[in-house]
Structure 1
Amino acid sequence: MNEYLIQTKDLNFQFNNKRKILENLSLNIPKGSIYGFLGPNGAGKSTTMRLITGLLNEQQNESIYLFGETLSKQLPQIFKRIGSIIETPTLYLHLSGYDNLKLIATIQEVPNSKIQEILELVELSKFQKQKAKQYSLGMKQRLAIGMALLNDPELLILDEPVNGLDPQGIIEVRQLLKKLNKEKGITIFISSHLLSEIEKTCTHVGIINQGKLLFEGSLGDLGNKNKNITVDIILDEVEKYHSKLNGFEVTQIDSKTLQFVLDNEKEIPELIQNLVQNDFQIYGVNKRGGLEDWFINLTDKK
């Protein structure tokens, strides 16, 4: 069995001859993963997802593989194995949550008995008779994900699923995606510009810029490539401590902040202890690093 549910092999795409949107893009989305697809605006994320879901046609043959076979050879039956939300979810706001699901179930020839199962899964059973226009943004997004789940997909493809949601809505969608992955075994391919959310949700990431893949692997792999941790120490007044900074590699940010670059986060307690022993009056400690800093470091190089 192929260990990857999605693969692209030297995928290229352009709308005109002036600029390539995607250039030799080779992705490998492991079976059973939650794969975060990251990149600045215009990097090619949505174009990639539209190609994988067949909303755009490939411009060369055999560049996209799903479940170990080329996409072109599996159309249209492949979509019985996939659920997706690309761009804005399509909801019928004048219908109840139940009737939105029933409409899709009818189109897909899914038995109505499946509807209650989905409502419970996305935690909308109590609101199933309520019209979708009365739902919060988070509830609407969970309903849309429920509609994508009616055909019991093995693969779920979501483009910016938490875009515009309030913090509670973001948490609800995050919990749902983790539940789908852990309990249902669904592989999830998700794009987002919210790096902190990707870090909390995903097992693997791919980072692209200007249509080119900069990094792909697990979050642990990315962390190993970007080990430095930046720590900001907030003091009452930096000038008091200049004479005590011998031996420290430090940058002064402003009159009350010193910035230290460490090899890893295990050095933070040692740094704090050293500063306290040298009579530094510490008012705050801010650690920086993680996916956001790694992302910036990668994309700023291009």
Structure 2
Amino acid sequence: MNYAIQTKNLCKEYKGELRVSHLNLNIPSGCVYGFLGPNGAGKSTTMKMMLGLVKPTDGAVRILGKTMNEKNRLTVLSMIGSLIESPAYYGHLSGRENLEIAATLKGVNKKSVSHALEIVHLNDVGNKKVKHYSLGMKQRLGIACALLGNPKLILLDEPTNGLDPAGIQEIRQLICRLPKQYGMTVLVSSHLLSEIDQMAAEIGIIDHGELLFENSLHVLHAHSQESLHLRTSEPKRALALLKEKHVPASLSTSGPDRRDTILSLPMLSDSELSGVLRALITDHIEVFRIEESKKSLEDIFLDLTGRSVCLS
């Protein structure tokens, strides 16, 4: 497989503590790669090492077939666009003027300014002063700056932070278009599960600087196992009865105060479930409710990290 980014045993130590620990990422070319983790997990530090803004304590970064080091740094950066943290801009200048300054600093043709404005849907307000832009428009201007020169790789660090739902949707749609229409690879970091779920094809989950999961989003969702929940009049006696009949079952709690005890079973065929219900009723155990349950993306994340991230 062709990889846009690979890291090998990448480490960063601050004050004797590893903030990024032996990280091995393999990011395929031509996709949106979601870099997911709670705040403080090491996402921004990793992305800064990819850009040569932070020097690794150990390990290596390989980008678009070249190793990121002092010798290759400028060559590698010429193929990358990035938006790390908040976009910088001159409020008294127009969006177009801001991009023209950025194009001069990056050494790219100013003709790419109009193309970048078109991609992020700001061409109609390109001559408007940036201080009059909405937060979402400013974020899109920052992405337009990253797109100057048509880079092969885009790194976006928490690009939807602070945006309202409409602004989030705009940025999400923009990011999803980049690989399909322009052949770019996009690495986007986020602590928002719902955003990564709707944007990325490939995903890496990091926590405390360590990579916990890396694969397609489809594989991550496959971790979600369906189960059956039965609410009965006597859950403990029901559990004992099913174990006697060699039906795998367990007790769990539900409800807002976690006081309701329910019977949890794996997914069963209709005939198997009918047999379970018949056995319970024959033993005078009432069945009040049957529900199908499936782990959410947040549940899967909690299983991997032991702590939560935001859903929206």
Same-fold call, TM cutoff 0.5: yes
* Alignment of 1:143 onto 2:141: yes
* Alignment of 1:29 onto 2:27: yes
1:89 alignment partner in structure 2: 87
1:199-233 deviation digits (Å, cap 9, x = unpaired): 11001111111111111110122223x23247889
Question: Aligned residue pairs: how many?
Answer: 283
Contact 1:196 1:292 in 2 (8 A): no
Deviates more, 1:44-53 or 1:89-98: 89-98
* C-alpha distance 229-261 of structure 1, shift in aligned 2 (>3 A): farther
Equivalences for 1:114-133 in 2 at 5 Å? 114-133=112-131
1:293 alignment partner in structure 2: 299
* Alignment of 1:40 onto 2:12: no
1:10 alignment partner in structure 2: 9
* Alignment of 1:63 onto 2:54: no
RMSD: 3.1
2:280 alignment partner in structure 1: none
Contact 2:41 2:208 in 1 (8 A): yes
Contact 1:38 1:208 in 2 (8 A): yes
Shift of 1:135: 1.3
TM-score (norm 2): 0.80
* Alignment of 1:254 onto 2:255: yes
Gaps of 5+ in 2: 243-248, 278-285, 308-312
Gaps of 5+ in 1: none
Quote the sequence identity (%): 42
Identify the match of residue 75 of structure 1 among 73, 76, 85: 73
Aligned partner letter, 1:198:
I
* C-alpha distance 279-167 of structure 1, shift in aligned 2 (>3 A): same
Contact 2:233 2:287 in 1 (8 A): no
Name the SS of the counterpart of 1:76 in structure 2.
helix
1:166-225 deviation digits (Å, cap 9, x = unpaired): 00000000000011111111101111011111011001111111111111110122223x
Identify the match of residue 225 of structure 2 among 224, 228, 246: 228
Greater gyration radius: 2
2:233 alignment partner in structure 1: 242
Name the SS of the counterpart of 2:73 in structure 1.
coil
* C-alpha distance 259-86 of structure 1, shift in aligned 2 (>3 A): farther
Q: Which runs of 4+ in 1 moved over 3 A?
A: 229-233, 243-252, 254-264, 278-282, 285-288
* C-alpha distance 290-34 of structure 1, shift in aligned 2 (>3 A): farther
Aligned partner letter, 1:8:
T
User: 1:79 & 1:182 partners in 2: Cα distance?
Assistant: 22
